[in-house]
Amino acid sequence: MVLAGALRLSFKNLARSWLTFLIAAAGLAVGAASFVFFAAAGAGVDRIARDRIFPTLPPNQIEVSPDPLAPGARVGGDAKRFNDASAKRVAALPGVRRTYEKMSADLPIIGYLKDEEAQAFFGRTVGVKMLIPAEGLDPALLARDKGFVGNREKFRHPGAEAWRPIPAIASTQLYETYVEAAESLGVPVFPRERFLGFRFSVIIGQGFGVRARRVQSGEVQPVERTVEIVGFSRYALLVGITFPIDVVREFNRTFAGGPSALEIKSLVVETVTPESLIDVAASTEAMGLKRRTDRYAELVIQVVTALTYLFGALSLVILVVAGLHMGHIFASLTRERATEFATLRALGATRTFISSLVGFEAFWVALSAAGLGIGTGAAASAAVSALVRGAVKPHSLLATVDLFHFAPTTIAVAAGLVIGMCIVGALIPAIRTAFRDPASALTS
Amino acid sequence: MISVRGLRRSFEAPRGRVEALRGIDCDIADGEFVAILGASGSGKTTFLQCLGGLDRGYAGALSVNGTELSAMSDAALSGFRNEAIGFVFQSFHLLPHLTCAENVFVPSFFAGANGRRRLSRAEASRRAVEQLREVGLERMAGDRPGILSGGERQRVAIARALFNEPKIVLGDEPTGNLDAKTGAEIVAILERLHAERGVTIVVVTHEDRMAKAARRVLRMEEGRLAS
């Protein structure tokens, strides 16, 4: 009830001193705006680095493979083999939700374009043949790729009929590299969707002067098949082609043979929560598996994170200074209004009412400052985004990504910091005012 | 009934300790109209602030209707001021950013703290206009105090003092900032309130007219009651 009265009176008081409060709020708004701007920029650049430039895994996934320096016997029941049995052991670890296998194609594959395939895409013949690295991927992992472009349903074993094209996916990053290169070379840039359905031919089991083991021994002959691109994914091989894992397993069994044909290359381990990742990583390390990381990518991301923290810290300094300024303004305002507060005390206001009144005034100022600051920060980031988009070529990476990422937590932290700093700044003047002797204030 | 026994009050001042009240004994009956006269610095205002529960730094005994003020908590004393006391100051002390009606019903903001029912805004506003009508200013209810004359401001302050229908009204030189004619109007209003409502009125004043209106005059000299 007391608070309701203080709330009503605080509105009236704010309306009276709106200019003073606006000036005070401006400092806090600048702090909030810079905090939001830099936090969103840091999060945005971090996201671009992780998702688009250096494909890293989500925070609840790691990719592990056998450590050649560790004794393989610990990996699974089948000594020195990293296979389905090993994957089951990893999947059974506490904190693991599920695992996804990756398998290298242990055989040469040559890719080329038949005349009709080249005509269909380029409008002319292309006489190029090249050795293509290939690997197999568990199709279920594509469900975890939010940036996947294409048709996930098509990415499965095509069946026994040889006339069916083998589905394959390409790397999202490979496409972006192509766009950058094409633009700088002045050659046509095709949108990603144009490559969906693109078909080319492959010769499986034979390379330039090399053959798969069972081809070499004459047990099987190389085969020619058609491959169709059905999507782009961050999980695809960066340079090469990625098939459904069952396809690669069959290739290895048919053309390479032996127990090594059943070995998996690596395992993407998904944990229940990001927090359980550390324990799971330690457990897999104890099993003789090492975590696959891109050290360069990690370094770049660490630099981005450090810069984000630095600018975030600068924004905090601005907020702290603004909070002190707010305290100073409230101290002088409450001093000026000493008689007014003493009158309220004479009319029956309690100390709680007086401190609440000053607190509410500070809260409304802070709320305005937070709204103004967050709005300004968002507007500034939108302006910078528009400037960057206008300055780069349409297909380049910077034209297709958001430089800023506004997480709800960033907004909440900015608002919380502004309101917190304002309340802290006004706290001492509010308490001092509430405890000021009304009799002496009225007499003076 | 206000009962004062051995009331003493001193302050630390730059030139040493000042004894503002040096042992006051008096009783003021319910419904009395008392004027306190005395030279500047005689302790009149300090005495009035002690009576109103604004100054708690005194020694001695001061009770209102049997309740010792020094024994009350700050919150209880605030409630006492809100319900039982109406203050009228020499400088009016109206809040300039509120309308006259809003100034009058400011005491309703604090009612909740005393366990007393809080009035709705409409009810408070209606009662404020009634109080303004009592002092002849209902037409100014929506105006801000800045456009009023000194006499009108003091009448608004009197309406505010009466808002919670207190038993005691304390005036600290209520005509001190007014010309003779306006001061006479304020005295007349206080006389009428005393006669019609039976309110206990204690007024610190220099004015003979106010002293004549009072039923009893107390004279203070150097912190003591002379008569």
Q: Do A348 and B81 touch (CB under 8 A)?
A: yes
pLDDT averaged over chain A?
Answer: 85
- In this prediction, residues A96-103 reach a mean pLDDT of 94
Interchain contact A4–B (C-beta under 8 A): yes
Q: Which of A56-60, A384-388, B151-155 has the lowest mean pLDDT?
A: A56-60
Interchain contact A2–B (C-beta under 8 A): yes
The pLDDT value given to residue A53:
64
The values of phi and psi at residue A82, to 5°, are: -110, 100
Tens-place pLDDT, residues A159-209: 888 789 999 999 987 887 788 777 777 777 888 888 899 899 999 998 888
Query: What is the C-alpha separation between B105 and B101, in angstroms, rounded?
Result: 6
The pLDDT value given to residue A2:
64
Q: How many Å lie between the alpha carbon of B49 and the closest alpha carbon of chain A?
A: 7
* Model pTM above 0.95: no
Tens-place pLDDT, residues B61-82: 999 988 899 899 999 999 999 9
Interchain contact A20–B (C-beta under 8 A): no
What tokens appear for A67 in the block? 């450590």
DSSP at A57: -
Nearest to A348 among B45, B89, B110 (CB): B110
User: Taking a contact as any Cβ pair under 8 Å apart, which residues of chain B between 49 and 68 contact chain A?
Assistant: 49, 52, 54-55, 57
DSSP at B119: P
User: Taking a contact as any Cβ pair under 8 Å apart, which residues of chain A between 335 and 364 contact chain B?
Assistant: 339-340, 343-353
Residue A73, pLDDT above cutoff 50: no
Cβ contacts of B118 on chain A, cutoff 8 Å: 1, 4-5
Residue of A nearest to B116 (CA): A1
* Amino acid code (one letter) for A359: G
Distances from the Cα of A329 to the Cαs of A426, B147, B181, in angstroms?
A: 9, 29, 42
Test the B interface: residue of A18, A19, A343 with most B CBs within 10 Å: A343
User: Strands (DSSP E) along A190-277, which ranges?
Assistant: 199-204, 223-233, 241-244, 266-271
The pLDDT value given to residue B131:
93
Share of chain A above pLDDT 90, in %: 29
Q: How many Å lie between the alpha carbon of A9 and the closest alpha carbon of chain B?
A: 8
Residue A110, pLDDT above cutoff 50: yes
Q: Residue A220, SS3?
A: coil
Whether the predicted interface score ipTM is above 0.90:
yes
Share of chain A above pLDDT 70, in %: 92
Pairing assessment for the beta strands B216-221 and A149-150 based on DSSP bridges: unpaired
Yes or no: say if A203 and A140 are a contact pair by the CB < 8 Å rule.
no
Half-sphere exposure of residue B19: CA atoms within 13 angstroms, side-chain side: 10
The pLDDT value given to residue A50:
67
The pLDDT value given to residue A1:
54
Q: Do A16 and B109 touch (CB under 8 A)?
A: no
Tens-place pLDDT, residues A257-306: 877 678 888 999 999 988 888 888 888 888 888 887 666 666 777 787 78
Residue of B nearest to A18 (CA): B97
Q: Do A349 and B96 touch (CB under 8 A)?
A: no
DSSP at A147: T
What tokens appear for A43 in the block? 């999060």
Q: How many Å lie between the alpha carbon of B152 and the closest alpha carbon of chain A?
A: 18
The values of phi and psi at residue A229, to 5°, are: -75, 120
